[in-house]
Amino acid sequence: MNSTMRAVFPAGPGGPEVLTIGKRPIPQTSNNDVLIKVAYAGVNRHDINQRQRGAGPAGATDILGLEVSGTIVACGAQAKTYPLGTNVCALVNGGGYADYVVAQDRLILPAPHQISLRDAASLPEALFTAWHNLVDLCGLAAGEIVLIHGGASGVGTMAIQLARTFGARVFATAGSDERCAFAVKHGAERCFNYRVHDFVAEFLTATNKNGADIILDMAGGLYAEKNLQALAMRGRITHLSSGQKPTYSAPLNLIMQKEAIITGSLLRTLVQDRKADIAHALKQEIWPKIGSSILPVIDLEFSLSQVSEAHRRMEAGLNNGKIVLKIS
C-alpha cells in the first residue's frame, strides 16, 4: 500500500470551484478503528456547508465526506466486528472523499448483499438521520401521520420509506410537480408542491383535518408557523437544518394550544455512543428490509474528478435522491 492517497478538500471557503483534489497521507487506525478502501462516497448537504466555511468542525479533517462504502483493508487491535476483506458501508466523521478513510468499528455496517456498493454508499447518513429524528427523538409509532419536507431529497426519500416500515401514513412536500411525483413513487401517500399550493390546507384536507403527529423539516425556520398549523395535538416537529432562515419565529399560543414538542438534531456532533446505538438498531430493524421495503434512491453518480459538478447539482436543489461519488 502506498503512503499517500487522493483526497478532496476545499482550498478555502467558497463555491464548488474551491474543491481541490490533492495528495494526503493514508490515515492510521487506532484500537477501535478500521481502514476502508473507499469505493463510493455519498454527497450530503453537510459537505456543502463545510466547503462554504472552508473547514470542518474543530478536530475534524478538512477532507469532505460523511458516508462511504468499500472494503476493510486494516483493523485496529480492538476492532473485531468485521474481518479484513469485508465489504461495508460506514458513517464517518469526515474524510470520505478519499481513496481510504478510517471508520469507528461500531459505526460500520455490512454492505447489504442485495444491492451494489454504489447503492450502499447512499445509506448511512440518510438512515442514521431518519432513525435518530423519527424514532429516537419523536417516538414514531404505527398508525401515526408523518409530514416530511424535502420529500424528494436523499434523506427525504429514505425517511418516507423508514416511516412506512413502522406503519405510518406518510405525506411530503417538494418544490415542483416532478419532485412531488418522485416522492410519491418512493412511498409518500401524497406530496404537495409548496411553490404552487398552500401545503397546510391541502395536507389538512388529505388527513381529514387530523394534522401531522410528526413533521420532519429540513427548511430551518422557514415554515415555523405553517408547521404548527399543520400539526396534530401533541405533535412533534424535528429540524434537521437551520436552513437559510436560522431564526425561529412562531406564535407561542399555538405551541401551547397544540402542546407541541419542537426539537432537532445535528448528527455529526452526536456522541459516538448514541451513533453506535443507532447503528445497532439499523442492523437489527432495517438491514433485513434493504432491497425490499427499503430501497436506495440514487440521483446521479459522479467521478471524483467531477466533485465540483456534484456539489453544484446538490446546491441548486436539482437532485432527486442521493448523489454519489465513485472513488475507486
pTM of the predicted structure, to 2 decimals: 0.94
- pLDDT at position 232 is 97
- Here the cell at position 309 is 459538478
Q: pLDDT for 94-120, tens place per residue? A: 999 999 999 999 999 999 999 999 999
Amino acid 222: pLDDT: 81
Give 86-126 as a 3 state SS string.
Answer: CEEEEECCCCCCECEEEEEHHHEEECCCCCCHHHHCCCHHH
What is the DSSP secondary structure assignment for residue 280, as one 8-state letter? H
Per-residue pLDDT of the chain (328 residues; tens, 9 = 90+): 789 999 999 999 999 999 999 999 999 999 999 999 999 999 999 999 999 999 888 889 999 999 999 999 999 999 988 999 999 999 999 999 999 999 999 999 999 999 999 999 999 999 999 999 999 999 999 999 999 999 999 999 999 999 999 999 999 999 999 999 999 999 999 999 999 989 999 999 999 999 999 999 988 778 889 999 999 999 999 999 766 655 677 788 889 999 999 999 989 989 999 999 999 999 999 999 999 999 999 999 999 999 999 999 999 989 999 999 999 8
- Residues contacting 188, CB < 8 A, separation 6+: 148, 151, 160, 170, 171, 172
CB atoms within 10 A of CB 309: 15
Task: Give CATH for domain 126-264.
Answer: 3.40.50.720
Beta bridge partners of 191: 172
Contact 44, 125 (CB under 8 A): yes
Closest CA to 154 of 189, 182, 134: 182
CB contact burial 241-257 (16+ within 10 A = b; e otherwise): bebeeeeeebeeeebee
**Cβ-based burial of 84 (10 A; exposed 0-12, middle 13-18, buried ≥19):** exposed
DSSP label of 321: B
CATH number of 4-123+296-326: 3.90.180.10
Count of CB atoms situated within 10 Å of the CB of 303: 11
- Give buried/exposed letters for 22-43 (b at 16+ CB in 10 A, else e): eebebbebeebbbbbbbbbbbb
Task: Provide the 10 A C-beta neighbour count for residue 287.
Answer: 18
- Residue written as cell 409530514? 147
Portions of the chain given CATH number 3.90.180.10: 4-123+296-326
- State the pLDDT at residue 243: 63
What are 179's three cell numbers?
419532485
* Joined grid coordinates for residue 218: 429540513
| Start-end of CATH 3.40.50.720 domains in the chain | 126-264
